[in-house]
Structure 1
């Protein structure tokens, strides 16, 4: 199985500029005039040109909209230096939506790209998510 990230955008040129500047991604290949494959991350990233107001799938109740929206599926970018990454994505045009928070596993910064897609920057501390491995989950203990 291979995981990839598809990001619908209303303006392919503007999206390419943002994702290149924000994350250092580069064009791997162009697939016609409506798809760019970007490289430079652990998974392939595809920018898909999809018009504002177009139907995302047959029978969809709501059309595509590019104002800020919430989705339970979003992407996180793990970075070695959160302050540096915040500056880089902000300079590219991302909007920080809340102050940095610190959890047992690391620091988290929540953003929206210029097309309304949410993403998080994460700087892991110590063992990252492993820091919560031994913590009780919902009142129970983990392990043998």
Structure 2
């Protein structure tokens, strides 16, 4: 969960006084999301095209999983079971 607050304060270092903006970013605990799909390879291609990364993956009798991240580094998985 991400909250962005914009707070204004009065800068009194130089006359005339002016308004400055501070942005405070409060980040909650990390969230991991799994996306289920019929075609993992097709979705991974779209993720890369949109600026994300394909970190690694696995295939087995149970299905396929791709470990990915968005352009900001938030991790998620694309899974076919």
TM range (shorter): 0.5 to 0.7
Which structure is higher in RCO with an 8 Å CA cutoff and minimum separation 6? 2
Gapped runs of 5+ residues in structure 1? 1-5, 11-50, 58-70, 125-144
Higher share of residues assigned strand: 2
CA contact (8 A) 1:112 1:118 kept: yes
Q: Give the greater-gyration-radius structure (CA).
A: 2
TM-score (norm 2): 0.61
1:27-42 maps to which residues of 2 (within 5 A)?
Answer: none
| Count of matched residue pairs | 62
Q: CA RMSD in A?
A: 2.6
Gapped runs of 5+ residues in structure 2? 5-22
Higher share of residues assigned helix: 1
- Could you list the runs of 4 or more consecutive aligned residues of structure 1 that deviate by over 3 angstroms after TM superposition? none
Cα distance in 1 for partners of 2:46, 2:3 equals: 20
